Amino acid sequence: MNTEGLSETEVLEAEPTVTVVPDPATLEPVAPPVVAETVVAPAINVDDSALYIHRELSQMQFNIRVLEQALDESYPLLERLKFLLIFSSNLDEFFEIRVAGLKKQIAFAREQAGADGLLPHQALARISEQVHVQVARQYSILNDILLPELAKHDVRFIRRRYWTPKIKAWVRRFFRDEIAPIITPIGLDPTHPFPLLVNKSLNFVVELEGMDAFGRDSGLAIIPAPRSLPRIIRLPEDVGGAGDNYVFLSSMIHAHADDLFPGMKVKGCYQFRLTRNADLSVDAEDVEDLARALRGELFSRRYGDAVRLEVVDTCPAQLSDYLLKQFGLAESELYKVSGPVNLTRLFSVTGLASHPELQNPPFTPTIPKLLQKKENLFGVLAKLDVLLLHPFESFTPVIDLLRQAAKDPNVLAIKQTLYRSGANSEIVDALVEAARNGKEVTAVIELRARFDEESNLQLASRLQQAGAVVIYGVVGFKTHAKMMLILRREDGELRRYAHLGTGNYHAGNARLYTDYSLLTADVALCEDLHKLFNQLIGMGKTLRMKKLLHAPFTLKKNLLEMINREAAQAAEGKPAQIMAKVNSLTDAKVIRALYKASQAGVKIDLVVRGMCCLRPGVPGVSHNIQVRSIIGRFLEHSRIYYFLNGGDEKLFLSSADWMERNLDMRVETCFPVEGKRLVQRVKKELELYLADNTQAWTLQADGSYQRQAPSGNQNPRNAQAMLLERLCTPVINSH
Question: 721: Cβ–Cβ under 8 A, 6 or more apart, which residues?
Answer: none
Partners of 579 in beta bridges:
605, 642
**DSSP, res 552:** T
The answer to whether 615 is annotated as binding is: no
The answer to whether 420 is annotated as binding is: yes
The answer to whether 273 is annotated as binding is: no
End-to-end CA gap in the chain:
30
The answer to whether 156 is annotated as binding is: no
Question: 216: Cβ–Cβ under 8 A, 6 or more apart, which residues?
Answer: 187, 189
User: What interhelical angle do 290-301 and 453-466 show, nearest 10?
Assistant: 150
Q: Dmax over Cα atoms in the chain, in whole Å?
A: 89
- Say if CB 194 and CB 222 are below 8 A apart: yes
The answer to whether 90 is annotated as binding is: yes
Nearest CA to 135 out of 190, 219, 67 is that of 67
Rounded Cα gap, residues 66 and 423, in angstroms: 29
Rounded Cα gap, residues 393 and 671, in angstroms: 20
Rounded Cα gap, residues 348 and 316, in angstroms: 31
CB atoms within 10 A of CB 218: 13
Rounded Cα gap, residues 515 and 637, in angstroms: 6
Q: Count of H helices and E strands in the chain?
A: 21, 29
User: What interhelical angle do 396-407 and 426-436 show, nearest 10?
Assistant: 10
Rounded Cα gap, residues 718 and 706, in angstroms: 16
Rounded Cα gap, residues 286 and 297, in angstroms: 14
Question: Around 545, how many Cα atoms within 13 Å sit in the side-chain half-sphere?
Answer: 24
Give the chain's radius of gyration (CA, Å).
28
CB atoms within 10 A of CB 705: 21
H or E element in which residue 489 lies: strand 482-490
What ranges in 328-386 are assigned the alpha helix state H? 377-381
Q: Report angle CA 629, 633, 635 to the nearest 5 degrees.
A: 55
Exposure b/e, 396-405, CB count within 10 A at least 16 = b:
bbbbbbbbbb
- Residues annotated as catalytic are 480
- Say if CB 202 and CB 337 are below 8 A apart: no
The answer to whether 448 is annotated as binding is: no
Rounded Cα gap, residues 671 and 669, in angstroms: 6
Rounded Cα gap, residues 302 and 453, in angstroms: 13
CA dihedral 402→405→411→416, nearest 10 degrees, is 10
CB atoms within 10 A of CB 704: 11
Known binding residues for Mg(2+): 420, 450
Known binding residues for ATP: 90, 513, 609, 637
Known binding residues: 90, 420, 450, 513, 609, 637
